[in-house]
Amino acid sequence: MVETSAPLPPALSQIVQRFARVSDPKQRYEQLLSLAKRLEAFPESDKTAENKVSGCASQVYITADLVEGQVKYQGDSDSQLVKGLVALLIRGLDGLPPAEVLQLTPDFIQETGLNVSLTPSRANGFYNIFRMMQQKALQLQADS
């Protein structure tokens, strides 16, 4: 098992464990697609250049707000599979203080087993989405 730099927050840990229990890559994809379907609707007005994740083959948007000291994320993608990755990250990181988001490293993806199933461009997209979410948390921390 790969060690991450900080212990995973409970919600993220639960998601990682749920994926890790599934050995079939096709079932992991189905889990991602299921997460994508349950992602909150993303406002069209937030699909702006500043919210767009660069370095992704598909269109991905992430917003973050600070609510009572916790980061509240929203996101969307035009690819259902990538939208599932966005949903995984939002469920795992939503509601954390910015400092906790900033302590995490994206290597928990290896524990899910998804890294072996993702194409290199999707894996790269995952890291870019994660980095964007951390950048938004850093900005919120700096602004508060």
Q: Is residue 51 one of the residues assigned to a domain? A: no
Distance CA 16, CA 142 (A): 29
pLDDT at 57: 85
pLDDT at 121: 87
pLDDT at 5: 54
Q: Is residue 4 one of the residues assigned to a domain? A: no
Q: What is the CATH number of the domain that holds 28?
A: 3.90.1010.10
* Segment 19-42, tens digit of pLDDT: 999 989 899 999 999 999 999 999
End-to-end CA distance of the chain: 36
Q: Is residue 49 one of the residues assigned to a domain? A: no
Instruction: Copy the structure tokens of residue 48.
Output: 């702006």
pLDDT at 27: 94
Q: Is residue 25 one of the residues assigned to a domain? A: yes
Q: Is residue 52 one of the residues assigned to a domain? A: no
DSSP codes joined into one string, 98-130? HHHHHH--TTHHHHHTHHHHS-HHHHHHHHHHH
Verify whether residue 31 is a known catalytic residue.
no
Match 């790969």 to its residue by tokens. 2
* Segment 116-128, tens digit of pLDDT: 888 888 889 999 9
Split into its structural domains, the chain has a count of 1
Q: Is residue 126 one of the residues assigned to a domain? A: yes
Q: Is residue 77 one of the residues assigned to a domain? A: yes
Q: Is 140 exposed, middle or buried (0-12, 13-18, 19+ CB in 10 A)?
A: buried
List 12, 53, 56, 62, catalytic entry: 56
**Would you give the DSSP letter of residue 92?**
H
Distance CA 85, CA 91 (A): 10
pLDDT at 6: 64
Helices (H), the chain: 10-20, 25-37, 80-93, 98-103, 108-112, 114-117, 120-143
Instruction: Copy the structure tokens of residue 2.
Output: 């790969």
**Low-confidence spans in the chain with pLDDT less than 70:** 1-6
Q: Is residue 115 one of the residues assigned to a domain? A: yes
Q: Determine the structural domain holding residue 129 and report its residue range.
A: 10-42+58-143
pLDDT at 2: 42
pLDDT at 4: 41
Helices (H), 38-79: none
* pTM score: 0.93
